[in-house]
């Protein structure tokens, strides 16, 4: 859809009331009644009773026009085009977790000491941390990233221009904001005396920019390659950014695309066919005050631009069924599983790959579903084979009435859970009395029988096949009617179809109803998504190694199998008839485990209580000498901090990773006769993404700070130049004439722009900060920079 046509049709604004400022931004002339209608979501029914003539519109839309008559207002409309191209997603959380800077020297030094401690811990963590697999969720469509960006940016924040309304169509978002007449570049160009008269005003601008950066980073957003032209301001020099420099941000996210695992477009949901106009609206909660004055006329108002429209929040209202939604991680897991089964994974993996495969699962480079399917393949199990179909664990009992699932006990086999210990003991002991080769002591007859397989798939299997395998006479009531009945009936494990195929619930028989779903889902698609989500959850991952030991591992044989009531008949009957299916034991040693999330090492150190001297607790200036028995003083029984016992947090185990590595080595060396492959480590020079984003924004801030004072020199230069060109040009002028920058910010400029790197390599286009502080996501001496600008 053409952008001009979209504004006229979607927003119901006549063409002569629109003036284009750029390819994606317009200024529009509307009356108070139109704004009221926009807030109430009735634009489609709004009637223009008094349109202005073309000459009046040109006059009122001119940027030099500071006042316009009542009831007309000027608004800004930003058009954000959608796209299905894949890019890197937004950061998952805040980019910085740094506390507020203390105003005292002691507090400032304490914060630096704390940061140094955190940096050393984090750097050592990244040095020894095995490389993790790149998650597919980091690669998303541009349209989804844009929607996520808009949701995160609002509600209203200081120095971020608030939104009146956002209209979404199949092709674009139309963001309506107040129109702010001035920007910093025009102030410098047309009113240079404003900043020359006092150093306080430029510092006030820089302070607000730092505050803006802090706000964005706390929301997990980045500023992007912003110029002084993008920094809006009112007559009192309160600055604003529209928050919609999305094109600049896309360039940053696009640059990471080649570093991520590419996910095919068939695994991501496509947007709906473009046959509808308005799909959803992002609306404010409070009603527009029709008597409020134009932004440009109300510079004296103490609330500044925010008085134009008071919105406490902005929320997304998805009213149209065609409204596209951001793909969830659970949806992606199901699609990823389907794609994996369609791939040629049976040829890709062999027993030779097992050591690497085990290590990949331990370090979360492969999902539980993929790992279990490969183990099934290595054990000789094949899809669609009734006697040797792949098996996966039942992970829940389906008996809960709410969405808080009743988890299945993975430390016991499903056969044991269904039959009970008494029956299994009776079965084992009853066969012990016989000394022939027919009655073999055992607990489990089969992991997945052909009868169970066809009962699972009864809704999709012809009656003739069901009668030949399950029972000769067709009785529909003999087949479980619900998932809960199915789970309680079967002694066997689950099959992959219940994690990926919604058709298994739909019956092809008229007298056999569809398989009834649990109460916490309404459709088969929703069931498999949540079922897969539970399979990949941390709670299941922490105990899955024990299920593997029971199904493919060392608990299938020996004394431990007797203890676990897991003696399998097919492994001990010494059958001599040739067969191509059965139970296969892959591991003879305990399977390595995934470290629980609460016990895993983290980039942040654990919180440990400090040991305080007795004298410090009672506020005494110094500890008492030995033998001094004054009441409240430090006695011989008081413990010095260096001799005190360090009490670790309950959920912190410093040996967890070492124990895990020991189990991994034990399995691969004893069971497979191989030394585990060398653990892949992150490149020590590979800075985390959050740190890259923050350092880039600080780099932009350094350029803006210099351009604020160098604008007379830089006026003829390209205003929308790439960041590296801006940096090199500023460094060139600052090196040739240091007097161009005030002395009060020269040290900050030296640090923020890394002038030393420019002096050593003037032709370089690769800007970077020193890496001694990269773990904490801030550039070197950033606290000092902030302190110098206070």
Question: What are the tokens at 63?
Answer: 């940027």
- Domain 365-572 belongs in CATH node 1.10.1540.10: yes
Mean pLDDT score of the chain: 76
Q: What is the pLDDT of residues 205-259, one digit of tens each?
A: 999 999 888 888 888 888 888 888 889 998 899 998 876 666 556 656 655 544 4
For residues 294 and 35, give the distance between their C-alpha atoms in angstroms, rounded to a whole number. Answer: 12
How would residue 416 be classed by pLDDT, with cut points 50, 70 and 90?
Answer: very high
Looking at per-residue confidence, does 132 or 348 come out higher? Answer: 348
**pLDDT at 88 > cutoff 50:** yes
Q: What is the pLDDT of residues 593-630, one digit of tens each?
A: 888 776 777 777 887 766 554 444 444 444 444 444 44
For residues 471 and 451, give the distance between their C-alpha atoms in angstroms, rounded to a whole number. Answer: 9
Q: What is the pLDDT of residues 702-740, one digit of tens each?
A: 999 998 888 777 766 666 788 888 888 888 888 888 888
The domain spans of the chain are 365-572, 610-640
pTM of the model: 0.58
Q: What is the pLDDT of residues 417-454, one digit of tens each?
A: 999 999 988 888 887 766 666 678 888 888 888 999 99
Looking at per-residue confidence, does 342 or 153 come out higher? Answer: 342
Q: What is the pLDDT of residues 118-140, one digit of tens each?
A: 878 877 777 776 655 444 445 67
How would residue 326 be classed by pLDDT, with cut points 50, 70 and 90?
Answer: very low
Nearest to 88 by CA among 693, 533, 603: 693
Burial of 190 per CB tally in 10 Å (0-12, 13-18, 19+):
exposed
- In degrees, rounded to 5, the angle at the alpha carbon of residue 668 between the alpha carbons of residues 662 and 669 is 85
The most confident of 233-247, 366-380, 577-591, by mean pLDDT: 366-380
Nearest to 724 by CA among 694, 754, 685: 754
Least trusted range by pLDDT, from 294-298, 458-462, 650-654? 294-298
| Helix boundaries (H) for 49-104 | 54-61
CA distances from 305 to 156, 189, 219, 240, 308 (A): 12, 23, 22, 9, 6
CA distances from 21 to 77, 81, 169, 405, 534 (A): 10, 16, 22, 54, 50
**DSSP class per residue in 470-483:** T-SS--GGGS--BH
Average pLDDT over residues 187-197: 86
Contact in structure between 412 and 443 (CB atoms under 8 Å): no
């Amino acid at each position: 859809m053409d952008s001009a046509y979209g504004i006229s049709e979607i927003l119901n604004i006549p063409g002569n009331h629109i003036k284009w400022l750029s390819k994606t931004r317009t200024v529009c002339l509307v009356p108070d009644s139109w704004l009221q209608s926009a807030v109430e979501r009735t634009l489609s029914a709004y009637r223009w009773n008094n349109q202005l003539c073309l000459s009046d519109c040109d006059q009122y839309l001119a940027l030099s026009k500071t006042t316009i008559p009542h009831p007309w207002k000027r608004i800004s409309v930003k058009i954000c085009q959608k796209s299905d191209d894949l890019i890197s997603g937004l950061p998952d959380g805040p980019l910085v977790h740094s506390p507020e800077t203390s105003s005292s020297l002691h507090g400032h030094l304490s914060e630096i000491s704390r940061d140094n401690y955190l940096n050393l811990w984090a750097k050592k963590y990244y040095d020894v941390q095995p490389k993790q697999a790149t998650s597919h969720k980091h690669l998303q469509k541009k349209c989804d990233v844009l929607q996520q960006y808009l949701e995160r940016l609002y509600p209203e924040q200081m120095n971020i221009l608030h939104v009146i309304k956002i209209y979404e169509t199949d092709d674009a978002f139309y963001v309506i904001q107040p129109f702010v007449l001035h920007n910093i570049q025009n102030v410098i160009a047309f009113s240079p005396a404003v900043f020359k008269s006092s150093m306080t005003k430029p510092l006030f601008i820089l302070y607000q920019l730092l505050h803006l950066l802090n706000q964005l980073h706390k929301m997990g957003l980045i500023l992007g390659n912003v110029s002084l032209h993008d920094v809006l301001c009112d007559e009192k020099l309160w600055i604003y950014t529209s928050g919609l420099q999305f094109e600049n941000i896309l360039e940053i996210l696009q640059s990471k695309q080649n570093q991520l695992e590419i996910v095919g477009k068939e695994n991501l949901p496509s947007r709906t066919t473009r046959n509808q106009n308005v799909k959803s609206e992002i609306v404010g909660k409070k009603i527009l005050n029709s008597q409020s004055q134009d932004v440009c006329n109300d510079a004296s108002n103490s609330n500044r631009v925010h008085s134009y429209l008071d919105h406490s929040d902005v929320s997304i209202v998805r009213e149209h069924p065609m409204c596209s939604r951001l793909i969830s991680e659970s949806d992606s897991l199901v699609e990823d599983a389907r794609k994996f089964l369609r791939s040629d994974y049976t040829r890709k993996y062999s027993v030779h790959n097992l050591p690497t495969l085990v290590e990949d699962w331990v370090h979360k480079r492969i999902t539980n579903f993929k790992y279990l399917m490969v183990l099934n393949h290595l054990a000789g199990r094949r899809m669609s084979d009734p006697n040797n179909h792949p098996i996966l664990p039942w992970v829940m009992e389906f008996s809960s009435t709410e969405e808080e699932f009743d988890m299945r006990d993975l430390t016991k086999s499903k056969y044991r859970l269904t039959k009970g210990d008494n029956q299994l003991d009776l079965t084992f002991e009853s066969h012990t009395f016989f000394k022939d080769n027919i009655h073999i002591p055992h607990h489990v007859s089969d992991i997945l029988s052909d009868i169970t397989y066809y009962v699972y798939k009864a809704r999709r299997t012809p009656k003739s096949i069901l009668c030949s395998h399950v029972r000769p006479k067709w009785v529909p009531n003999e087949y479980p009617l619900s998932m809960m009945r199915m789970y309680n009936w079967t002694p066997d494990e689950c099959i992959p179809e219940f994690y990926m195929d919604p058709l298994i619930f739909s019956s092809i028989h008229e007298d056999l109803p569809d398989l009834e779903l649990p109460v916490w889902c309404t459709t088969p698609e929703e069931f498999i998504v949540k079922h897969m989500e539970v399979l990949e959850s941390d709670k299941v991952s922490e105990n899955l190694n024990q299920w593997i030991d029971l199904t493919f591992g060392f608990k299938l044989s020996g004394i431990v199998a007797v203890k676990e009531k897991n003696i399998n008949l097919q492994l001990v009957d010494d059958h001599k008839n040739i067969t191509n299916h059965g139970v296969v034991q892959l591991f003879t040693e305990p399977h390595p485990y995934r470290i629980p999330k609460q016990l895993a090492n983290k980039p942040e150190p654990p919180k440990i209580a400090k040991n305080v001297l007795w004298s410090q607790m009672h506020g005494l200036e110094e500890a008492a000498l030995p033998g001094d028995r004054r009441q409240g003083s430090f006695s011989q029984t008081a413990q010095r901090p260096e001799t005190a016992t360090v009490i670790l947090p309950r959920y912190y185990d410093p040996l967890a990773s070492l124990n895990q590595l020991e189990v991994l080595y034990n399995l691969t060396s004893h069971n497979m006769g191989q030394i585990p492959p060398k653990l892949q480590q992150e490149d020590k020079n590979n800075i985390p993404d959050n740190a890259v984003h923050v350092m880039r924004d600080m780099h932009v801030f350094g350029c803006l700070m210099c351009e604020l004072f160098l604008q007379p020199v830089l006026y003829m230069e390209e205003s929308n130049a790439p960041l590296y060109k801006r940096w090199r040009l500023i460094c060139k002028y600052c090196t040739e004439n240091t007097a161009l920058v005030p002395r009060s910010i020269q040290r900050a400029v030296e640090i923020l722009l890394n002038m030393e790197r420019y002096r050593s390599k003037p032709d370089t286009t690769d800007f970077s900060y020193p890496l001694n502080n990269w773990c904490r996501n801030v550039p070197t001496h950033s606290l000092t920079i902030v302190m110098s600008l206070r």
